[in-house]
Amino acid sequence: MGLILEIIDVERLLDKFEKSSIREMKLNLDGSELFLSKNEYTQKTEAEAGPVLPAQKAESPLLPKEAAEAAPVVQAEKAASGHAIKSPLVGTIYLQPAADKPAFVKAGDQVKAGQTVCIVEAMKMMTEIKSDVSGTVKEVCVENEDLVECEQTLFLIEEA
């Protein structure tokens, strides 16, 4: 015999969820699924995003030999100048909880370990990315709604 939730049970669950500090909850009962979230997510639909056009090959200017050799050194110094918060997966990054809301964090903001700094969407699943250190946001390394790669640096944090 399976467990069945009555409407009154769902209403009680919703009431308790709203009063709790829990941000998301997923409940599976005999193949039925209930997902509750207090997070506000924004997504562009295909109509809003516009038609998909074939990519055009960009012409890249040739760099002098000295500049080409110096580029990797600059990137290595940049990575070493703070604690990097990296994306755990490939997806679209959202730097704000909703289009009409301010960014989770910006350069110069103080963050605490465990604080949400952005959201990465992959296959319609939203994953909150949290800072693993306390400190000051030194640099936001991506733009809102960019496609990010796994292990790509999203933020540089100067540890407190």
Domain ranges in the chain?
8-37, 81-159
Model pTM score = 0.52
Residues in the chain with pLDDT values less than 70: 1-5, 30-31, 40-80
What is the CATH topology of the domain spanning 81-159? OB fold (Dihydrolipoamide Acetyltransferase, E2P) (2.40.50)
Contact residues for 144 (Cβ-Cβ < 8 A; gap 6+) = 93, 94, 95, 96, 103
pLDDT score of 1: 46
pLDDT score of 153: 95
* Cα distance between residue 122 and residue 113, in whole Å: 24
* Cα distance between residue 153 and residue 100, in whole Å: 25
Judge contact between 23 and 37, C-beta under 8 A: yes
pLDDT score of 41: 61
Contact residues for 51 (Cβ-Cβ < 8 A; gap 6+) = none
